[in-house]
Amino acid sequence: MSVALPDFTASFVATRARAAAVLAGQASIKPFAVLATAEFLLLIVVGYGAAIAYFQFTADVWPLARMYLPMVIAIAPVEVAAVSVAVHAADFPSRSREWFAWNGLMAVLGAASAFLSIGYLLRLQQDVPRAVICLQLGCMAATIVGARSFLYPRMRSMLRAGLIEARRVILVGDVGQCLAMASRLRDAGVRTVRLFAITPTVLANPDDLNAVFRTLAENCRGLAAEDILLLTDVPNFTTVADSARQLAELPINVQLVLVGSGGLTSAVSVVRCGDGFALRFFAKPLSVLDCCIKRALDILVSASSLVLLFPLFVLVALVIKLESRGPALFSQRRHGYNNSEIRIYKFRTMTVMEDGNDFRQVTKNDCRVTRVGRLLRQTSIDELPQLYNVLIGNMSIVGPRPHAVAHNAMFCQRIPMFWRRHNIKPGITGWAQVNGCRGETDTTQKMQRRVEFDLQYVDRWSLLFDLKIMLMTVFSKHARLNAY
C-alpha cells in the first residue's frame, strides 16, 4: 500500500512518485507472537523430553507427568512473558544475534530461578532428583539459544523484505534527506507513514517554521506512529529544536537526527551530567560488570590452558632449538589497551627477531620463516605463549589483535578511528581473524577491513560473542586463511 504525502501547505509538497516508491509497504505479519507461541511449546516438549530421557536411560521407566511437567509448564509462560517485554518488535532491528540469543537464555534462567525458589520455599520438589532438574534446565536453555540463533537471520531477512513492520515513523525535513532516510529505515523494518517537507525558505523564517510544526501536530494524530524524526543539519539545529516544542502535546517520541555529520552521531546518547544532560558521542565499550565477566573468562581459559598445554610447550621449544640457533621464545613490543605499550610473547618462527622500527611483516614464502616456524604459524601454535600475557592481564583471549608499534604508525593517520580498536584489551584471537583478516596488511584497504571488524567487536561485545569467536577460531576455515 502506497502512502501519499499530505497537502497541508506548500512546504509539505514532495514528489509523489519518488515517495510512493520509497514508502511502498507490504502486508506485515506478527512474527513475534508466533515466536512466543513456538518457544512456549518448544520449552514444554524439550523440558519434559529431558525427564523422559533421564528415566529411560537410568531406570528404564516412564517419569510421572504430575511430578515433572509442572516445572516446564511453569517456566515456559514466564520465559515467554519476559521475552514479550524485552524483545519488542520496535527494538529488534537494533539488536545483534548475540543479544537475541542471550535474552532468551536469561529469560529461561530467570524463570527457572523463580520456579526453583518458590518450589524450595513451599517444599514442592523434595522427591524430584536434582539431576533431572539440571538436565531439564540445561536442555531448555540450549534449545532456546540454538533456536534463536537459527531464527535471527531469517527474521532479519523478513524485516528487509518488509514482512515485519517494527516501527511506524513520521519524517520531517528536506525532501531528499527524508527519502534517503526512509529507504534506510525500511531496510531495518521501520515503516515511514508520512513525510513532511520543510523548505529552506521556511527554515529561514521562525514564524513560518512554527506554523509548519503546528500544522504537523494537528494532522498527524491519526497516523498511529511511534516516532517523529526531525532531520536537520548542524547550522539549523537550534532553530528546529526550538520550534519542535509545538510537538510536545503529542503522545509520541520526537527525535532530532543530525544529517551530514559524517557518522559522528551514529552512537550518540543523552546522559546525565550533574543536574543537567549532555550528548555522549562515544562510550566505554565495557561496563565494570562486563570487565569482571571477561576477566574471569580470561583467567579460567588461560590458567587451564597453560597447565594442559605445558607438555606441548616443552616439545615445541625443543624442536625450535634443534632446528635453528636462538631462543625458543621471543618478545615484541605491541600497542595494548589505551595505546599503552606491552610486550607479547611468541614462539620464535623466524631466523630473526625484529622489533621497533626494524619490524617487517611476514610475507608469503618469506625466506626468514623456518620450516618448523611455517607449521607453527599455520596452526597458530606460535601464539600460545600469549596465554601468559592473558594471565597477567595485559591481553585477553578475544580482542583486536595487537599490532607492532611500527605497524600502527604506518596506518594510524590513514584510517579514521584507528586507535579506537585499543579501547578494549588486545586478544590472542579476534573477530577480524576468524573472518579471514589475517596475514600481511600491505595496503590501506586490507588494514581498513581489519579495523572495521575490530570496531564491530568493540561495539558489540558480549560473553556469547567471545564464546562464538573462540569456537570459530578452532573450527572455522576462515580463521586459518592467510596464515603464513
Residue boundaries of the structural domains of the chain:
10-27+165-280, 31-160, 288-480
Place of cell 506548500: 10
Coil/strand/helix, residue 330: strand
Tell me the angle at which helices 65-86 and 31-58 cross, rounded to the nearest 10 degrees.
150
How many C-beta atoms surround the C-beta of residue 101 within 10 A? 23
- Amino acid symbol at 365: N
Q: For the chain, what is the mean pLDDT?
A: 78
* Grid coordinates given for 411: 596506518
Alpha-carbon distance 361 to 440, whole Å? 6
Contact 174, 89 (CB under 8 A): no
Contact 39, 83 (CB under 8 A): yes
Alpha-carbon distance 134 to 114, whole Å? 15
Return the closest-CA partner of residue 254 out of 203, 215, 279, 217.
217
pLDDT in tens, 379-412: 888 889 999 999 999 999 999 999 888 778 888 8
Alpha carbon distances (Å) from 52 to 139, 285, 426: 12, 44, 46
pLDDT of residue 5: 38
Coil/strand/helix, residue 321: helix
Give, in degrees to the nearest 5, the angle at Cα 39 between 37 and 42: 110
Contact 211, 4 (CB under 8 A): no
Enclosing H/E stretch for 173: strand 167-173
* Grid coordinates given for 199: 523548505
Contact 436, 478 (CB under 8 A): yes
pLDDT of residue 26: 38
HSE of 457 in the Cβ direction (CA atoms, 13 Å)? Answer: 31
Contact 398, 474 (CB under 8 A): no
- Amino acid symbol at 429: T
Alpha-carbon distance 388 to 309, whole Å? 12
Tell me which CATH code domain 10-27+165-280 carries. Answer: 3.40.50
Query: Would you call 105 exposed, middle or buried from its count of C-beta atoms within 10 A (0-12, 13-18, 19+)?
Result: middle
Give the residue ranges of DSSP H helices in 220-361.
237-243, 288-308, 310-323
Q: Which residues of the chain have pLDDT under 70?
A: 1-33, 63-68, 71, 75, 78-94, 124-128, 162-166, 188, 260-267, 352-365, 442, 478-484
Residue 285, φ and ψ in degrees, nearest 5: -65, -35
Alpha carbon distances (Å) from 77 to 38, 70, 205: 11, 12, 56
* Grid coordinates given for 426: 588486545
pLDDT of residue 390: 96
| DSSP characters over 91-110 | TGGG--HHHHHHHHHHHHHH
How many C-beta atoms surround the C-beta of residue 463 within 10 A? 14
